[in-house]
């Protein structure tokens, strides 16, 4: 049986691995006992059936539009598109804008009247802002405020505000700006100390002052360098320890430094009137607050499959579409998981065996874990802003989607007859341990697209764009690992669709 060029190309692209003796059907039915060399013919039969079929008759490949060009060929971005998709994300734009504002202010100060105290204050402002931007209460307040915007607003506005979950870019921009300001402060302070040294006016406090200046600068540089994305991804435990202990050390030395600066002979203001003191006080309070909210909870483990583990724990009134942090050693590492509100006063998470910590938890489920309140709203809280959406998940990534599907916001969307489509790729989706997930999915989208990854791993990005364009949705929300998330968002944006995924910057 012959296929059109685009269809054949995609059929070959998604051919199961050799030795696979079963195939999948994206209409949530399962086709078994088909050999690899028959897969293309089976799919060709589906193409013929789906010519005038409903959305659930999702051919794994189809021509992209009236031009007859396949979607995956059209999705190859031009150079300028590749540049924009990589560098002009909301995350990177926030970093650039904040650094640009700070550099402009720095240049203006250098031209006008460079002052040691002003540079230290500017560094303290940026450090405080970086800490504030990670504060759970502010994040939740902002997410709730944005999620209440009506879907009647222009799509361009809704698409823009839904990028708010990239606020981590502002955090990085402020941290890097603090480093720049402190470099400037250290330079000015060194010049001042050398001048006093030449006049023979050096004191013990001035020696301590210059030593603490360079110590803080070194600590800030280490914290910023270990936060480089590639280093952070490869050595996450090192990044987390450096970020935490390096940040604490920096704050302690800054307290010493702010006090010493105001006690030097040429200090312009007393300690109590110095802005850095109050900025540091607020920053310290914000850093201490999360540690007052941690507690140990009992854990009940239930093994779902060879890769997924369900952990239940007591937590009354767990909000929907939230993320909670867990730890077995609070001082060294914390891990964020999307929560699923359960009946009564319990909640649960689904842990996938993906890293060192999750592998240890999977092998030996703990009896207790530490959690850090409050739960923080995640980017799925913005789904109600759109009139038609496609939710995409792979593996245990279905957990945050399930939280959304069972939420009051989703009930309102269903009552308003808004379109919600669901696509899920997982090993053995029809097994008994996934019945609760399939029930929740079918309750919202009876034509949900479900792939069995045991048989053949689909091109998730391609399939997402195909379904999104055919279903005519306004936005796509994807929950997966970093690679798949990036591929899906990129593919959709090349096609002019709004697409959102986790940022993975924690």
Residue 83 has pLDDT above 90, yes or no: no
Which of 38-44's residues contact partners 24+ apart within 8 Å by CB, and which partners?
39/11, 39/15, 39/456, 40/3, 40/8, 40/11, 40/12, 40/15, 41/1, 43/7, 43/11, 44/1, 44/2, 44/3, 44/7, 44/11
- Nearest C-alpha neighbor of 120 from the set 250, 258, 7, 278: 258
Q: Which of 140, 139, 121 is nearest to 131 (CA)?
A: 139
Q: Is the pLDDT of residue 365 over 70?
A: yes
* Mean of the per-residue pLDDT values of the chain: 82
User: What gap in Å lies between CA 87 and CA 96, rounded to an integer?
Assistant: 10
In terms of Cβ atoms closer than 10 Å to its own Cβ (0-12, 13-18, 19+), residue 22 is middle
Please tell me which residue, 173 or 238, carries the higher pLDDT value: 173
Q: Which domains does the chain have, with CATH numbers?
A: 91-291 (no CATH), 296-377 (2.40.30), 380-501 (3.40.50.80)
CB proximity list for 199: less than 8 A, separation 6 or greater: none
Most confident of 11-15, 276-280, 295-299, 361-365: 295-299
Residues whose CB falls within 8 Å of the CB of residue 398, separated by 6 or more in sequence, listed in order:
350, 424, 426, 437, 441, 479
- pLDDT score at 341: 87
Q: Which residues contact 385 (CB under 8 A, 6 or more apart)?
A: 146, 147, 149, 151, 153, 158, 161, 162, 475
Per-residue pLDDT of 120-148, as tens digits, reads: 889 999 999 999 999 999 999 999 999 99
Confidence (pTM): 0.82
Contacts of 503 (CB under 8 A, 6+ apart): 91, 165, 166, 168
pLDDT one-digit tens code per residue, 162-176: 999 999 999 999 999
Q: Does residue 184 surpass a pLDDT of 90?
A: yes
Q: What is the mean pLDDT of residues 259-283?
A: 74
């Amino acid at each position: 049986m012959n296929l059109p060029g685009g269809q054949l190309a995609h059929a070959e692209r998604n051919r199961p691995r050799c030795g696979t003796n079963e195939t999948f059907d994206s209409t949530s039915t399962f086709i078994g006992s088909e050999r690899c060399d028959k897969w293309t013919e089976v799919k060709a039969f589906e193409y013929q059936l789906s010519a005038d079929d409903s959305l659930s008759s999702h051919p794994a490949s189809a021509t992209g539009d009236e031009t007859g060009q396949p979607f995956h060929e059209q999705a190859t971005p031009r150079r300028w598109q590749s540049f924009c998709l990589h560098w002009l994300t909301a995350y990177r734009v926030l970093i650039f804008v904040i650094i640009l504002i700070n550099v402009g202010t720095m240049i203006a100060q250098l031209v006008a009247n460079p002052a040691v105290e002003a540079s230290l204050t500017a560094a303290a402002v940026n450090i405080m802002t970086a800490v504030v931007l990670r504060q759970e209460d502010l994040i939740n307040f902002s997410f709730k405020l944005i999620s209440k915007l009506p879907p009647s607003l222009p799509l361009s506005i809704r698409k823009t505000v839904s990028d708010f979950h990239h606020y981590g870019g502002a955090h990085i921009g402020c941290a890097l700006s603090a480093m720049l300001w402190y470099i400037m402060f250290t330079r000015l302070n060194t010049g001042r100390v050398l001048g006093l040294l030449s006049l023979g006016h050096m004191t013990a406090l001035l020696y301590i002052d210059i030593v603490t200046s360079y110590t803080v600068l070194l600590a800030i540089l280490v914290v910023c360098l270990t936060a480089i994305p590639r280093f952070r991804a490869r050595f996450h435990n090192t990044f987390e320890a450096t970020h935490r202990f390096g940040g604490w050390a920096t704050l302690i030395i800054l307290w010493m430094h702010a006090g010493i600066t105001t006690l030097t002979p040429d200090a312009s203001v007393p300690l109590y009137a110095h802005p850095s003191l109050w900025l540091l006080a607020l920053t310290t309070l914000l850093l201490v607050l999360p540690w007052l909210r941690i507690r140990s909870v009992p854990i009940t483990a239930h093994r779902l499959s060879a890769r997924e583990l369900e952990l239940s724990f007591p937590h009354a009134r767990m909000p929907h579409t939230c993320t909670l942090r867990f730890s077995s050693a609070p001082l060294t590492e914390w891990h964020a998981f999307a929560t699923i509100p359960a009946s009564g006063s319990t909640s649960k998470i689904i842990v996938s065996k993906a890293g060192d910590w999750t592998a240890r938890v999977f092998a030996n489920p703990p009896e207790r874990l530490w959690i850090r309140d409050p739960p923080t709203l995640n980017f799925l809280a913005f789904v109600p802003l759109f009139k038609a959406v496609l939710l995409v998940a792979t593996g245990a990534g279905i957990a945050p989607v399930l939280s959304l599907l069972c939420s009051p916001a989703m009930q309102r969307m269903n009552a308003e007859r808004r379109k919600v489509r669901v696509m899920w790729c997982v090993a053995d989706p029809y097994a008994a341990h996934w019945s609760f997930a399939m029930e929740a999915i079918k309750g919202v989208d009876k034509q949900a697209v479900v792939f069995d990854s045991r048989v053949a791993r689909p091109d998730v990005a391609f399939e997402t764009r195909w379904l999104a364009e055919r279903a005519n949705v306004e936005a796509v929300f994807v929950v997966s690992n970093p690679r798949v998330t990036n591929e899906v968002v990129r593919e959709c944006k090349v096609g002019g669709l709004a697409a959102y995924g986790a940022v993975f910057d924690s």
